[in-house]
């Protein structure tokens, strides 16, 4: 079978994903819906920016049947505004910007859905309060102090949603979606955890769903029959420790949404303050589908779900098995808007894979535009030099040698080659991946970190990079080859500690790769990502008396908050001693000497693990005779996280 034929026939491998669907009166070309995603790309005053339009256009070009906007807040005071760069649908003056997004989506063959989102308990980002049905103190100190919403304000909020719906129709949207999840206004009414009201909006589940139903009924009436209205609700709150809804109550909320006229439901999981992991790597793909299945059994409208369905096999089976009708994808399509196209064309290995690191999400809470660890082009879709739609060739073709086959080197090599340079990548090991090979073994799900490495290797090969493995090069060998630019991407190694003299010194590689077992009483030097990762790894393997010694005032400074709380929770449960503001200053026999807040302290230890890293110095030479241009990227410049390596590589590849 020819390559093209194979590509064309690929839709048949995913017959359910690529079968047409129906929402209300509308036909949908396939079962893929790009799920609502705040980006912080719009301007701080709620107006849509060019950057947002370009991003949404890329999503539509990627082939999803439905493309949903980020949630737009519906009220003029900004009580519903949860992110500094959240877009607004609170006044008519926002319609032209919203219409630009609708037009870009529809022009590219998708249905345009607009999401109305009042952030409630997570709202009022620029105010000194947030609105809730009852005053229930915040669990996450980041959010604003709650203020009880009055009956008058409830009526106003219903009207806000209705007026927002009219603007969405005027702006040309095909579908309207209402978000009532994770701690946003409607969900706080639905949940028994946050709704303690004694009026008709509180009490049993039917009363707690009253606001949601009034909003749905009002929006439906405003939108008319030709514009379907869907709603996102929580299928499982994961708030048992706070007195949240029972499973039965959550199910009832979906039935009531259907009764109020919803044309589809999107099933979501957890609240932001749930103390259970929902969307991190340790949650197996497709894990939450059982919740959608419960809902699918009781409603007669289409059911959709996102949540860790990163590979098409999962939703393909779920749709085939009648568990969901539509596959919603958020992070997989932040990482690669072309996900649907690549699946349908048999180019699955080219998908830029989301690694569930949640950098995108956490950026929102630092009031920053979202970034993606594995896709540096995010937010630069309309800037030609970033090459989202392909690079133009460099004016001068250079001979470039990249030393090191970790993420920085691979990313740099692939971009440079796409720009027309002749690129050779040298890796002294037999395997590419650099330190990611180690990171991929740290915990459950970490194996997914190898997916972007595989994808980058494919990109390199596809764009003509010559990859040479298992050869230790010298500068002289490169002189002979004739090189214009040399890129040092040799990564990092464990830091040397001349002050420490113990026999029992281990590196993370010793423990994870070589399976060495450190003594029970072991100190880990360094409490950033690597140190915490090792502590978590050991704590899951057996019984240790571990101590982490960290110079800074905080542990896990470089670890995403979605993972950090889990790690710290486990380490506390395992009674790991966590010492911050503590610096190792020497060793006497078995006594490790640390300087802790200006006081000298001794810790008796049998083993030491050094987690701190420093750049590999092997190529830190005067290379002026090898090439005119010499660059250092990734950990070879300064040990940091995966996304720093990928961004370093990408940016250098763009400018070489
Ligand atoms: C950066 C980011 C922004 C999000 N913004 C919204 C939003 O505006 N409205 C909403 O209902 N859900 C929002 N979500 C939730 C997603 O739509 C989705 O339900 C969740 O990420 C799980 O799906 P996934 O595993 O496909 O990412 C957001 C998620 C992320 C990562
Ligand atoms: S930042 Fe991380 S979680 Fe977000 S889309 Fe990119 S890879 Fe996925």
CA distance 94 to 219: 18
| Ligand 1: nearest atom to the Cα of 329 | 26
Mean pLDDT for 553-570 is 94
In this prediction, what percent of the chain has a pLDDT beyond 70? 99
Question: With bands split at pLDDT 50, 70 and 90, how would you rate the model's confidence at 5?
Answer: very low
Give the residue from 308, 187, 306 showing the smallest Cα distance to 238. 187
What six digits make up the tokens of 289? 């589908």
Which pLDDT does position 9 carry in this prediction?
53
Which segment of 89-93, 96-100, 344-348, 598-602 scores lowest on mean pLDDT? 598-602
Average pLDDT, the chain: 95
Unique residue bearing structure tokens 């929402």: 23
- 56 close to ligand 1 (CB < 6 Angstrom): no
- 373 close to ligand 2 (CB < 6 Angstrom): yes
Choose which residue among 37, 56, 357 to substitute to test ligand 1 binding: the one with the highest number of ligand atoms within 8 A of its C-beta.
37
Question: With bands split at pLDDT 50, 70 and 90, how would you rate the model's confidence at 588?
Answer: confident
The count of C-alpha atoms lying within 13 angstroms of the C-alpha of 336, restricted to the half-sphere facing its C-beta, is 22
Ligand nearest to the Cα of 448, by number: 2
Q: Which CATH number fits domain 505-611: 4.10.110.10, 3.40.50.10320, 3.50.50.60, 3.40.50.300?
A: 3.50.50.60
Contacts of 426 (CB under 8 A, 6+ apart): 401, 402, 403, 404, 405, 468, 471, 473
What six digits make up the tokens of 87? 């877009």
| Ligand 1: nearest atom to the Cα of 179 | 11
Which pLDDT does position 6 carry in this prediction?
40
Unique residue bearing structure tokens 């690129």: 423
Q: Which residues belong to CATH 3.40.50.720 in the chain?
A: 392-491+615-655
Ligand nearest to the Cα of 80, by number: 1
Nearest CA to ligand 1 atom 1: 361
Which pLDDT does position 306 carry in this prediction?
98
Nearest CA to ligand 2 atom 6: 372
Three-state secondary structure string covering 461-500: HHCCCEEEECCCCCHHHHHHHCCCEEEECCCEEECCCCCC
Q: pLDDT per residue over 500-538, tens digit each?
A: 877 789 999 999 999 999 999 999 999 999 999 999 999
**pLDDT over 90 at 65, yes or no:** yes
What one-character DSSP code corresponds to residue 118? -
- 360 close to ligand 2 (CB < 6 Angstrom): yes
**pLDDT over 90 at 256, yes or no:** yes
CA distance 515 to 517: 6
Write out the E strands in 224-360.
229-236, 264-269, 303-305, 326-329
- 412 close to ligand 1 (CB < 6 Angstrom): no
- 68 close to ligand 1 (CB < 6 Angstrom): no
**pLDDT over 60 at 627, yes or no:** yes
Which pLDDT does position 1 carry in this prediction?
35
Segment holding 298, helix H or strand E: helix 289-298
**pLDDT over 80 at 318, yes or no:** yes
A 10 A CB-CB count for 494 gives 20
Mean pLDDT for 557-582 is 94
Q: Which residues belong to CATH 3.20.20.70 in the chain?
A: 3-384
| Ligand 1: nearest atom to the Cα of 358 | 31
Query: How many Å lie between the centroid of ligand 2 and the Cα of residue 334?
Result: 7
| Ligand 1: nearest atom to the Cα of 35 | 17
Query: How many Å lie between the centroid of ligand 2 and the Cα of residue 466?
Result: 29
CA distance 16 to 89: 35
Give the residue from 629, 635, 633, 618 showing the smallest Cα distance to 656. 629
Q: Which CATH architecture has domain 3-384?
A: Alpha-Beta Barrel (3.20)
Which pLDDT does position 480 carry in this prediction?
85
Checking DSSP bridges between strand 591-596 and strand 582-588, what pairing results, if any? antiparallel
> CATH code for 392-491+615-655?
3.40.50.720
The count of C-alpha atoms lying within 13 angstroms of the C-alpha of 398, restricted to the half-sphere facing its C-beta, is 21
Write out the E strands in 35-165.
66-72, 111-116, 130-132, 146-148
CA distance 78 to 308: 31
CB 641 within 8 A of CB 533: no
| pTM exceeds 0.85 | yes
Choose which residue among 38, 52, 315, 367 to substitute to test ligand 1 binding: the one with the highest number of ligand atoms within 8 A of its C-beta.
38
- 268 close to ligand 1 (CB < 6 Angstrom): yes
- 117 close to ligand 1 (CB < 6 Angstrom): yes
Q: pLDDT per residue over 437-471, tens digit each?
A: 999 998 888 999 999 999 999 999 999 999 999 98
- 39 close to ligand 2 (CB < 6 Angstrom): no
| Ligand 2: nearest atom to the Cα of 330 | 5
Q: Which residues belong to CATH 3.50.50.60 in the chain?
A: 505-611
């Amino acid at each position: 079978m020819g390559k093209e034929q194979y590509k064309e026939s690929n839709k048949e491998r995913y017959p359910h994903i690529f079968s047409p669907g129906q929402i209300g009166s509308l036909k949908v070309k396939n079962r893929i819906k790009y799920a609502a995603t705040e980006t912080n790309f719009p301007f701080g005053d709620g107006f849509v920016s060019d950057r947002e339009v370009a991003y949404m256009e890329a999503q539509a070009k990627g082939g999803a049947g439905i493309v949903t906007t980020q949630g737009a807040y519906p009220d003029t005071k900004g009580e519903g505004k949860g992110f500094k760069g959240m877009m607004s649908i609170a006044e008519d003056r926002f319609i032209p910007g919203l219409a630009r997004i609708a037009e870009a989506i529809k022009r590219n063959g998708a249905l345009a859905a607009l999401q109305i989102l009042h952030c409630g308990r997570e709202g009022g980002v620029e105010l000194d309060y947030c609105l809730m049905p009852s005053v229930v103190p915040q669990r996450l100190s980041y959010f604003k102090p709650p203020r009880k919403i009055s009956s008058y304000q409830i009526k106003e909020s219903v009207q806000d949603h209705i007026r927002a719906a009219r603007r969405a129709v005027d702006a040309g949207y095909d579908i309207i979606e209402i978000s009532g999840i994770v701690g946003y206004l409607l969900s706080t009414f639905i949940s028994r955890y946050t709704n303690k009201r004694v009026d008709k909006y509180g009490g049993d589940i039917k009363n707690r769903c009253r606001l949601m139903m009034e909003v749905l009924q009002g929006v439906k009436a405003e939108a008319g029959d030709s514009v379907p209205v869907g709603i996102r609700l929580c299928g499982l709150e994961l708030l048992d420790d706070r007195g949240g809804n029972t499973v039965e109550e959550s199910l009832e909320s979906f039935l009531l949404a259907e009764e109020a006229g919803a044309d589809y439901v999107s099933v979501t999981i957890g609240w932001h303050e749930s103390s259970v992991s929902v969307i991190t790597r340790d949650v197996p793909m497709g894990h939450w589908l059982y919740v959608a299945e419960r809902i699918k059994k009781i409603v007669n409208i289409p059911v959709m779900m996102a949540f860790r369905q990163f590979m098409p096999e999962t939703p393909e089976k779920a749709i085939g098995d009648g568990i969901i009708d539509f596959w919603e994808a958020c992070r997989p399509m932040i990482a690669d808007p072309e996900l649907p196209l690549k699946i349908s064309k048999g180019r699955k290995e080219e998908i830029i894979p989301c690694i569930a690191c949640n950098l995108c999400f956490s950026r929102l809470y630092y009031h920053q535009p979202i970034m993606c660890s594995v896709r540096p082009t995010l937010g630069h879709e309309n800037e030609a030099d970033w090459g989202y739609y392909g690079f133009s060739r460099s004016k001068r073709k250079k001979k470039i040698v990249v030393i090191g086959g970790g993420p920085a080197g691979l990313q740099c090599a692939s971009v440079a080659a796409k720009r027309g340079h002749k690129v050779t990548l040298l890796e002294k090991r037999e395997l590419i991946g650099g330190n990611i090979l180690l990171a991929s073994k740290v915990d459950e799900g970490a194996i997914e970190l190898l997916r972007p490495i595989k994808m980058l290797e494919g990109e390199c090969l596809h764009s003509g990079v010559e990859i040479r493995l298992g050869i230790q090069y010298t500068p002289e060998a490169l002189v002979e080859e004739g090189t214009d630019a040399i890129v040092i991407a040799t990564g990092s190694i464990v830091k040397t500690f001349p002050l420490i003299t113990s026999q029992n010194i281990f590196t993370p590689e010793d423990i994870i790769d070589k399976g060495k077992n450190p003594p029970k009483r072991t100190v880990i030097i360094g409490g950033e990502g690597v140190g915490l990762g090792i502590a978590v790894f050991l704590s899951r393997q057996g019984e240790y008396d571990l101590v982490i010694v960290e110079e800074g005032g905080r542990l896990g400074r470089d670890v995403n908050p979605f993972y950090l709380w889990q790690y710290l929770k486990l380490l506390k449960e395992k009674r790991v001693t966590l010492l911050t503001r503590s610096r190792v200053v020497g060793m006497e026999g078995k006594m490790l000497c640390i300087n802790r807040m200006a006081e000298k302290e001794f810790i008796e230890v049998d083993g030491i693990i050094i987690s701190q890293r420093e750049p590999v110095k092997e190529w830190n030479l005067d290379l002026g005779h090898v090439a005119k241009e010499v660059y250092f990227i990734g950990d070879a410049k300064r040990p940091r996280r995966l996304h720093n390596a990928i961004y370093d590589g990408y940016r250098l590849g763009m400018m070489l």
